[in-house]
Amino acid sequence: MTKAFISGCAAHALSDEEIAFFKAEDPWGLILFRRNIETPEQVRALTQAFRDAVGRADAPVLIDQEGGRVQRLRPPHWPSFPPQKLFGDLYQSDPGRARDAAKLGSRLIAHELRGVGITVDCLPCLDVSFPETVDAIGDRSLSADPNVVADLGRSVADGLLEGGVLPVAKHIPGHGRAQVDSHLDLPHIAASAGELAEVDFKPFLALADLPFGMTAHLLYQDLDHDTPATQSQKIIQDVIRKTIGFDGCLLSDDISMKALGGDMLDRARKTFAAGCDIVLHCNGEMQEMQTVAAAAPKLEGRSAERCSAALSMLGPVLEDFDRDAERARFDQLVSPVIA
């Protein structure tokens, strides 16, 4: 039976050991990184090999394809896209044009992803930018205005869905105030619950209907003084589920990031106990993958329902999408900012 975790893999093709692991443990999905990417044909073979191993044609394959610094698919085989901040900059002078550009940009990304068997993009980034925002977020944020983040985030999500790729709202309940990189250490957020609700939560509230949300590995001192959001039952149940009203499939951010303490078994168990539906483990290290699989419960009950509901949002894709013509239109839309 399928287990409630998403795994990485080590290289361009699955090893015999990985295939045996995926067959035995049946993770709900796979996530790809630069180490897994070479050519379109190779990526298509990799995504198909994973689905063959788990025996589910609809098994989700995820990636972070945002634009700017965060692009796993890159030239020469795939086109480049600007960072998300560009759409926020364009919004200042022409909101309608910015919405069109954000939607078309993600529609173009979806076209590239679907072509190689990837069905979930970890986008939109709904983190509001602050003067102190760490560079690890930086220009990945759409704007310093939560209303603009919400408006453009909707456009980004709509473009992905139109292209047959599921969006992920990240990093819930908001990563913008972090002053250190959560890949390396645990950020502590001193803002009050009221300040967070007034700014940081707003984009997530506006997009609470998205199929997936991804947690933030941040310690919000006024919400839970002791535990980062990913592992905080108080934050997941009281803030994410109730205050924000997100009832979609909640993914943890990568539990191999250094913001979380303890060994991998402890990290996975605490994350599940807090209320994440799916634990995400990305680094492709087999020993850690086996540990996460051992901690992962069978995907059932409300979590299974949320996962099923998320996948049901994948609709048919129009076959007459002219990528070259639409890319030319996209380049024209963003030209005032790029120039």
Residues tagged active-site: 183, 253
First-to-last alpha carbon distance for the chain, in angstroms, is: 53
Gap between the Cα atoms of 273 and 57, Å rounded: 29
Q: Which helix (H) or strand (E) holds 213?
A: strand 212-215
Residue 235 DSSP code: I
120, 157 contact by CB (below 8 A): no
Exposed/middle/buried for residue 312 (C-beta within 10 Å: 0-12, 13-18, 19+): exposed
28, 55 contact by CB (below 8 A): no
Exposed/middle/buried for residue 129 (C-beta within 10 Å: 0-12, 13-18, 19+): buried
Residue type, 88: G
Q: Which helix (H) or strand (E) holds 67?
A: strand 65-67
Q: 279: which strand partners?
A: 5
